[in-house]
Structure 1
Amino acid sequence: MKNYSYVGISLVILIFGIWAVPKIIAKFTTPDMAEIGEVPKFSFTNQDGETITNEDYRGKVYVVEFFFTTCPTICPKMNENMVKIQNEFYGNPNFGIASFSIYPEHDTPKVLKAYAEEYGVAIPNWNMLTGEREAIFELANTGFNLYVAENKEMDGNFEHSGYFALVDQEGVIRSRYDDFGNPIAFYNGLDKKNIEMLKEDIKNLL
């Protein structure tokens, strides 16, 4: 039985030259996913009191969310689903999660540590981050285009997006395309189908 991979590569070399091989291979191995934008620089404190920046995620595929520990509505479901994603890639050092608290005055590293233990955070690359509220809001609303705001009329006094962002190894926000060829941009952290899509796309990037 012929080895068609070798035959194909041989034809590429014959027709285009040896220089074309890396480009041809890249075409078939690079994920066909949209580039939404580059993650801006950030620096916050995690649940262990360590300073974490965007450079700590360089070379990793990671998922981003904005939440707060006293959230009485969507955050518990979001983090239940995030744990499912964690478990899917448990043991892979090239995968991570960044959870930014939008209520940093309450969500100290100690509070975030207890929350992480309660929800079963078990991988070293899952950082629950706190810092200056203005910087976190700027990162959410401008850096990721994931809406957050203080609203005293809402349960918990905040409103925020329930979507997750997917970031590749180079710090670029990525997503799949919908059936019409448009980037979906973000993944609904409350929707089972979206969570499965996200898992597939993480594997694609990894």
Structure 2
Amino acid sequence: MATSLLLAQLLLLGTLVVPAQAQNPSTESKCAQLGNATEGNFSVTVTPEVYQANTTYLVTIKEAQNSTDNEPTQFVLQALSPGNESLGQWEGITPENCSSVDSAVLNSTQNAANWTSPGTNVSSVQIRAYIIFTDKSTQFKTVTLTRAAETTTSSPTSTPSSVSTVRGSSLFIAVLQLPLLLAMGKLLS
């Protein structure tokens, strides 16, 4: 009796573990496909085009006209820091973890997603876009967002040159000496 109870518990545990294991290979195979991606013939637009903290961006994938039967099955989007770490949040999409990178996975009917940048300023963000096709081939494109050049306006400062300082001093001395010379001239005459 104890043996059959133990066997029933193991079978129940096995039915719980097998579905969880069955889900991981698809994510792992998707991640492996991203690692084998080649540069694609499609475009990625990110609006706005300049990086700012706490800003929502629209990331859109526009695929090139494809004359073959090889259709897209999924689009994958990632936002990475210069140190290749995930940044920000993909809105309305539960991100999948792909080699420690949060990845927004879109089905073939979606070609755009909103991404919100983090509250911290970073020098740049790389948006990576992947298309996974029915034949399991994968193509990618990247767009780099950089911060706008910071411009500071300052009033021009003028520092007198040594020549103009000497000229100013000579003029001052001449103005002071003129009355003295006139007074001396009257005394001598």
Which has the larger Rg? 2
- Smaller-chain TM-score range? under 0.3
* TM-score for both structures, normalised by structure 1: 0.21
> What TM-score, normalized to structure 2?
0.22
Structure having the higher helix fraction is 1
Structure showing the higher strand proportion among its residues: 2
Structure having greater relative contact order (Cα 8 Å, sep ≥ 6): 1
